[in-house]
């Protein structure tokens, strides 16, 4: 969902610039700024604004840009409003899911020059123990990006059937031992804390898998978090809504962090670039499907070794970008 950073999640804001007690590293920022550099003016959207790292850099890159920031986490909205308040009416931060982007944009009747999606969980969420996102901290099972929603990790872990748990572990996280973990969860309910779940998963997987260096519960926590926040279901609609609202020459950048996210992003962008017909194969085409974007690169771009060394949480990032075609190019 938000930019991935490392360090303590506290913020101090003053004098128009951000003074932070942790090093703030929006992922693949150089690649993001290079992609948007030719677009000197217009409205941008940061659909997963988080702590405002990408948003701040985009507005600093050109004084003729304005930006709408969306985030479903009210804590992120409050923090980013404070962080970017020195930019005045150039920025508007809204509490909304990114699949609500059409409603947010259409209320102002404006088209977009640029859009960035930084998917997944933010470091602030991971590093805030009581949010329950991390297996490293002892906390209640929660994992809600928006604390106002009803569904949380405790409900998923303690009420889903074995088949449902095994499916989401496999589908959301490519977990090799999905069935074994699901069986163990069901057998040891009720599960009340993150550390209890993490230890249960550790004991459920084969001993050899525990010696890989990464905690064996990492994928389980990812899978449950995605299910709680309905993350994958929102991506396709949000990207299509955004592409439709880009001006000719406008650009969209998407940063994803695991294969499930990237598969959806790749499919949506390639279908937009190829103009795939949606009509039944047995009938003549009546949908007038045509390409409406140009892929800026056909292959995914990954972070540099230098960035990964500076910010290990960037290691799994996948960068894709596309440009809206003009009428003459269709």
pLDDT at 212: 73
Looking at the DSSP bridge assignments, the partners of residue 323 are: 251, 294
241-254 per-position pLDDT tens digit = 999 999 999 999 99
pLDDT at 282: 66
* Distance, CA of 266 to CA of 273 (rounded, Å): 10
Q: Who's near 305: CB < 8 A, 6+ residues apart?
A: none
Q: Quick one: which of 110, 119, 70 has its CA closest to 246?
A: 110
- DSSP 8-state assignment for residue 275: T
Which stretches of the chain are assigned E, i.e. beta strand? 11-14, 17-20, 41-46, 64-71, 91-95, 112-118, 246-256, 293-295, 318-324
Instruction: Classify 277 as helix, strand or coil.
Output: coil
Q: Residue 79 is encoded by which pair of tokens? A: 């923090």
- Provide the b/e sequence for 89-104 (b: ≥16 CB within 10 Å): eebbbbbbbbbbbeeb
164-188 per-position pLDDT tens digit = 999 999 999 999 999 999 999 999 9
Average pLDDT estimate for 260-271: 95
Work out whether the CA dihedral 263, 264, 269, 273 comes out positive or negative.
positive
- Ordered by where they begin, the domains of the chain are 11-124+231-329 (3.40.50.150), 130-229 (1.10.150.170)
Q: What global pTM score does this model have?
A: 0.86
What share of the chain in percent tops pLDDT 70?
87
């Amino acid at each position: 969902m938000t930019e991935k950073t490392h360090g303590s999640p506290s913020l101090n804001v003053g004098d128009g610039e951000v003074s932070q007690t942790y090093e703030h590293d929006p992922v693949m920022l150089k690649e993001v700024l290079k992609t948007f550099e030719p677009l000197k003016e217009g409205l941008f959207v940061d659909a997963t604004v988080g702590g405002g790292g990408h948003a701040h850099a985009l507005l600093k890159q050109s004084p003729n840009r304005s930006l709408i920031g969306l985030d479903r986490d009210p804590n992120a909205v409050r923090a980013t409003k404070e962080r970017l308040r020195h930019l005045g009416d150039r920025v508007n931060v809204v509490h909304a899911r990114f699949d609500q982007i059409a409603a947010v944009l259409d209320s102002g009747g404006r088209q977009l020059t640029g859009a960035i999606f930084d998917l997944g969980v933010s470091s602030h969420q991971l590093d805030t123990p009581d949010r329950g996102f991390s297996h490293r901290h002892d906390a209640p099972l929660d994992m809600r990006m928006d604390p106002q929603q009803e569904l949380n990790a405790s409900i998923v872990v303690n009420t889903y059937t074995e088949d449902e748990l095994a499916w989401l572990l496999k589908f959301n996280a490519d977990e090799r031992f999905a069935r074994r973990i699901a069986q163990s969860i069901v057998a040891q309910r009720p599960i009340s804390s993150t550390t209890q779940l993490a230890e249960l998963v550790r004991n459920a997987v084969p001993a050899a898998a525990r010696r890989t260096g990464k905690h064996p519960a990492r994928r389980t926590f990812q899978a449950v978090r995605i299910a709680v926040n309905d993350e994958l279901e929102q991506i396709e609609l949000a990207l299509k809504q955004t592409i439709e609202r880009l001006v000719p020459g406008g650009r969209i950048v998407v940063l994803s962090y695991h294969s499930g996210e990237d598969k959806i992003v790749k499919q949506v962008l390639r279908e937009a670039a190829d103009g795939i017909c949606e009509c039944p194969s047995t009938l003549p085409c009546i949908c007038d499907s045509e390409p409406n974007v140009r892929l800026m690169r056909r292959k995914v771009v990954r972070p540099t070794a230098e960035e990964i060394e500076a910010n290990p949480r960037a290691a799994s990032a996948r960068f894709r970008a596309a440009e809206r075609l003009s009428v003459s190019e269709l």
